[in-house]
With several copies, the nearest count.
Chain A
Amino acid sequence: MAESARDPLVIAGREFHSRLIVGTSRYPDPHVMLEALAATGTELVTVAVRRVSLTDGSKESFIAMLRGKYSILPNTAGCYTAKEAVLTAQLAREALDTNWVKLEVIGDQETLFPDVPELLKAAEELLADGFVVLPYCNDDPITCRKLSDMGCAAVMPLGAPIGSGMGIRNPYNLRIIREQCSVPMIIDAGVGTASDVAVAMELGVDGVLLNTAIAQAKHPVQMATAMRLAADAGRLAYHAGRIPRRLYATASSPEDGLIGHTD
């Protein structure tokens, strides 16, 4: 899309020509995953790191599919403490030759909401260790400000819980964060369908990170395309300057020269 290309997403000095960051999890199969990733137009995809299993032979196949095609953003999904998250990030850096990390420190297995103090602690340690930190966080203006003040490359508040598909539950907090936050703001988690992405972009956020909404859709590749279009649509609409909301109508056809009225 010409228009959006003129307006790249810049994180830590790196330019991306898509405003979507896309996860690699929960697709019906790797082939569909690759097709869907391509359809989104993304340049940055998230991966998790896990213990190699003793039984399963191939240790390389998964990452090999992505190498060359995409920049890799390892996450620290499943970590409950700063200590776990820092070690996971360091292992990911070693394994994947990247100092970028999607920092996830959760407090609860069920809801996957972040643990704020552990998240802040982990962010501080990883920044000190030279990482480019993209933290997944609550839609909490104070935590977002702290993360950006300490030097995180972006803040990534959730639109709704991971995998909920509830969309943007609290646009008000996101607007406050947008007002106060100088670093790029990415909506991470909550997207259920294309319009959620458009709504997020129209709030003025810089990008959207999503996974389940594509991977678990009935037709992931088609949904992936929808997400790409919705991100462009929302970004363009944000820049285009929408009309104000009014309780009611103002005629869009001229009101003079009507037929059958005596002047």
Chain B
Amino acid sequence: MNITFNGNPTHLHEGTTLGGFLREHQITDKTDGVAVAVNDAVVPRRQWADVHLRDGDTIEVIHAVQGG
């Protein structure tokens, strides 16, 4: 299936969970200062494991950076 991750089209295997996808990017529910939205809705970290990604999903993963 195809999703959009931080603005980039990305191909995933069917049945990938959000948690699984994030782990591939070294992000676990222990990673500090990170948050995730799927289709413009924030997904609390405790739910990452349960969320099954669907074709066309848009995923935003953010963290804190320097800002004024």
Direct contact of A and B (CB under 8 A): yes
Residues of A within 8 A of B (CB): 23-27, 33, 46-52, 54, 57, 59-60, 62-64, 67, 72, 74-75, 77, 83, 87-88, 90-96, 162, 211-212, 251-254, 257, 259-263
**B45 and A25 within 8 A (CB):** no
Starting from the known contacts A48-B68, A49-B65, 10 additional A-B residue pairs (CB-CB under 8 Å) come to A23-B68, A25-B66, A48-B67, A52-B34, A59-B27, A77-B68, A90-B42, A94-B35, A94-B44, A253-B67
Across-interface contacts of B63 in A (CB, < 8 A): 49-50, 52, 59-60, 62-63, 95
Q: Which of A87, A252, A261 contacts B67 (CB 8 A)?
A: A252
Given contacts A63-B63, A211-B68, A254-B67, contact A91 B32 (CB under 8 A): no
Q: How far does the alpha carbon of A89 sit from the alpha carbon of B68 in the complex, in Å?
A: 15
B4, B31, B60, B68: the one within 8 Å of A60 (CB): B31
26 pairs of residues in contact across A and B, judged by CB atoms under 8 Å: A23-B66, A24-B66, A26-B66, A46-B67, A49-B64, A50-B63, A52-B61, A54-B25, A59-B33, A59-B34, A59-B63, A60-B32, A62-B63, A63-B64, A75-B68, A87-B60, A91-B35, A92-B64, A94-B36, A95-B63, A96-B64, A251-B68, A259-B62, A262-B4, A262-B7, A263-B6
A57: chain B residues at CB < 8 Å are 26
The answer to whether A259 touches B60 (Cβ under 8 A) is yes
Question: In this complex, what residue of B is CB-closest to A94?
Answer: B35
Contacting pair B32 A47 (CB below 8 A): no
Number of contacts between A and B (CB, 8 Å)? Answer: 136
Neighbouring B residues of A257 by C-beta, 8 Å:
6, 65
B37 within 8 Å of A (CB atoms)? yes
| A113 vs chain B, min Cβ distance (A) | 15
* A87 and B40 contact, Cβ closer than 8 Å, known pairs A48-B65, A95-B35, A253-B67: yes
B47 to nearest A CB, angstroms? 11
| Contact yes or no, A62 B62, CB < 8 A | no
User: Cβ of B68: which chain A residues have Cβ within 8 Å of it?
Assistant: 23-26, 46, 48, 75, 77, 162, 211-212, 251-253
Q: How far is the CB of B56 from chain A (nearest CB, A)?
A: 14
Asked if B61 and A47 make an inter-chain contact with CB atoms under 8 angstroms apart, the answer reads no
Residue contact A51 to B7, C-beta cutoff 8 Å: yes
Task: Please measure, in the bound complex, the distance between the C-alpha atom of A259 and the C-alpha atom of B41, giving whole angstroms.
Answer: 13
Closest residue of A by beta carbon distance from B58: A260
Smallest CB-CB separation from A22: which chain B residue?
B68
Contact partners of A24 in chain B: CB under 8 A: 66-68
Contact A62 B64 (CB under 8 A): yes
Shortest distance between the CB of A46 and any CB in chain B (Å): 5
Q: How far is the CA of A162 from the CA of B4 in the complex (A)?
A: 33
Q: Which residues of A contact B35 (CB under 8 A)?
A: 49, 91-95
B24 to chain A, nearest CB (A): 10
A36 to B66 alpha-carbon distance, docked (Å): 14
